[in-house]
Every structure is written in structure tokens, then in C-alpha cells.
């Protein structure tokens, strides 16, 4: 198995954690990511420490509270593939959060260093920017949950729906150099869901000098760590592919560089 892939646990931890990416595991500095699955009535309670958190309700409903504010019965989609934007909660560092599942709940915990500059808040579906990006067989649906235009210290969070037979994160691009304004350094995780569940996605991760050059088969519920390099994704015919991206780096901005060998594709006439 590729060392870029993190697989979910067969048996959840006592707090419902089924998948965890830490900076130590990934060999990087900024991004942490977890998936927690709770049964109705189960609770998750944690301190944020020196990290800021974005809780994304992937599916299901819950009550969520921090040390200063609470929200009751949030969450509207019972399946990710309803393709409506999720409810999310931003929680700063030096805070705490408690999640009380009202239904079966799949929760993404997006983690990066916090600096205490922002207060906890609810991110409602209507606040999530929805866009169709690309054309032809590189067209995909984007939900900008926590883009750089919205307040946070480090985190950038976005989800992408790639139709069957389409490509996304395409043309291949990278953001692994702290070389602004041309390119920003951002570590990134991809959390995958596939419909139907027995399907798969294909992701390539490679650098210009090919010191990193891997092509991985990713199944439902798995995560790919992208420490550097270009990282395009393909959804095979018959299978719709979803992924949640978490990014963070020394500067909170998304400036990417397309692979020069494939950048010409952006000048291709749009397919009607």
C-alpha cells in the first residue's frame, strides 16, 4: 500500500474516531484531519489546545457547543451525495467543543495551528460558496466551506464532487513552494467518498523531478496525504467521487501552479 494513503479503522476508537492524520504521521507541519462516526445519542467532547478546528457535518444532525456559544439541531444532509452544502462549525484555539449526535453522524475534524484571532461561529449552508468549475469532462461541483475570504488563522476547507468519468484537481496543479505571489506552500489532505461504495478513485501525486511519483487507487472512506507535487484525480465511469480537502501552510492563501506540460488544456474550447 502507498504511504500516501490512510485507511479507516475497522473498529472506531472509544470516541468514534475512525481515521486520523497527524502532522507526525504525514511528516509535515500544519494539517491535521480526523473522521469521527457517532451513533445517535453519542457525544464527542474535546479541547482545541493550540489548534483551530473546522467541524464539517458530512452527514447527519447534531447539537454543537463551544465554551461560549451553542447551536441546536444543525445538519441537513443525511448523505454526502445529496450534494447540498454542509453545516460546519469553526472553533478557535484555546477553546473546547462538544458534539451531541441526534442521528447517525459522520463528522470531519479539520485541524491547523490557531492564533486566537477569531471567535467560534456556525457556517450555514447558505454561506458556503457553490460553483461549477471546469468544462467538459473536467467539470466538477465545488463547495467553498472555509475559503481564504472567510475568517480563520490557518485552515482552508473545500469539498468537491467529481461526476463519473470526469477528472478534477485538473489540470494537474501544485502548491508546495513558499514563493508568493506566484505560489503558496500548502499541505493538503483528500478524504474520499465514492458512490456506489464498491467503487474507487485514481489519484496521481508527482513532482517535476519525479522524486515523488505515485499513482494510487483510493477507496470509499480513505484519505490521501499530499505533501508536495501535482495531484490530479479521476472518477471512473459508473462511480461518483467526493473528496473533502483540508489545506494549511505558513500563509493562508491558495496560489497554485499548473503543470506546464498540461496547462494548455485550460485554453481548449469549452465542450458544449
Q: Residue 72 corresponds to which cell in the numbers above?
A: 441546536
Q: Percent helix, strand and coil across the chain, each rounded to 5?
A: 5, 50, 45
In three-state secondary structure terms, 23 is helix
E strand or H helix at 38: strand 32-38
Q: Extract the runs of DSSP E, i.e. beta strands, from 50-179.
A: 51-59, 62-66, 70-74, 88-91, 96-101, 105-113, 121-123, 129-133, 140-146, 156-162, 167-168, 173-174, 176-179
Q: Look up cell 507526525; give the residue.
A: 24
- What would the pLDDT profile of 127-166 be if each residue is shown by its tens digit? 999 999 999 999 999 999 999 999 999 999 999 999 999 9
The 8-class DSSP code of residue 230 comes to B
The terminus-to-terminus CA distance of the chain in angstroms comes to: 39
User: What cell was used for 103?
Assistant: 442521528
- Residue 123's pLDDT is what? 98
Q: What is the pLDDT along the chain (272 residues), one digit of tens a residue?
A: 589 999 999 999 999 999 999 999 999 999 999 999 999 999 999 999 999 999 999 999 999 999 999 999 999 999 999 999 999 999 999 999 999 999 999 999 999 999 999 999 999 999 999 999 999 999 999 999 999 999 999 999 999 999 999 999 999 999 999 999 999 999 999 999 999 999 999 999 999 999 999 999 999 999 999 999 999 999 999 999 999 999 999 999 999 999 999 999 988 765 43
Strands (E), 67-119: 70-74, 88-91, 96-101, 105-113
Predicted confidence at residue 1, as pLDDT, reads: 59
pLDDT at site 272: 38
- Model pTM? 0.96
Nearest CA among 94, 89, 34 for reference residue 62: 89
For residue 271, what pLDDT is reported? 44
Calpha distance 270→139 (Å, rounded): 10
Q: Which pLDDT value is given to residue 234?
A: 98
Amino acid at each position: 500500500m502507498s504511504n500516501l494513503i490512510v485507511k479507516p479503522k475497522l473498529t472506531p476508537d472509544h470516541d468514534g474516531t475512525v481515521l486520523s492524520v497527524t502532522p507526525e504521521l504525514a511528516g509535515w507541519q500544519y494539517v491535521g484531519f480526523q473522521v469521527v462516526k457517532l451513533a445517535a445519542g453519542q457525544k464527542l467532547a474535546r479541547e482545541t489546545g493550540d489548534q483551530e478546528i473546522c467541524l464539517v457535518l458530512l452527514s447527519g444532525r447534531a447539537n454543537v457547543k463551544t465554551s461560549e456559544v451553542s447551536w441546536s439541531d444543525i445538519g441537513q444532509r443525511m448523505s454526502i451525495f445529496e450534494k447540498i452544502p454542509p453545516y460546519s462549525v469553526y472553533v478557535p484555539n484555546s477553546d473546547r467543543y462538544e458534539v451531541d449526535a441526534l442521528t447517525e453522524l459522520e463528522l470531519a475534524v479539520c485541524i491547523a495551528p490557531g492564533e486566537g484571532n477569531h471567535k467560534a461561529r456556525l457556517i450555514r449552508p447558505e454561506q458556503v460558496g457553490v460553483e461549477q468549475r471546469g468544462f467538459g469532462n473536467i467539470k466538477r461541483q465545488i463547495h467553498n466551506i472555509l475559503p481564504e475570504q472567510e475568517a480563520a488563522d490557518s485552515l482552508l476547507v473545500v469539498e468537491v464532487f467529481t461526476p463519473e468519468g470526469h477528472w478534477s484537481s485538473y489540470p494537474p496543479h501544485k502548491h508546495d513552494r513558499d514563493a508568493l505571489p506566484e505560489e503558496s506552500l500548502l499541505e493538503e489532505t483528500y478524504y474520499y467518498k465514492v458512490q456506489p461504495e464498491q467503487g474507487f478513485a485514481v489519484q496521481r501525486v508527482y513532482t517535476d523531478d519525479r522524486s515523488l511519483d505515485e499513482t494510487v487507487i483510493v477507496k470509499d472512506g480513505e484519505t490521501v496525504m499530499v505533501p508536495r507535487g501535482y495531484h490530479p484525480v479521476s472518477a471512473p465511469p459508473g462511480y461518483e467521487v467526493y473528496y473533502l480537502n483540508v489545506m494549511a501552510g505558513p500563509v493562508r492563501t491558495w496560489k497554485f501552479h499548473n503543470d506546464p506540460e498540461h496547462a494548455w488544456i485550460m485554453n481548449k474550447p469549452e465542450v458544449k
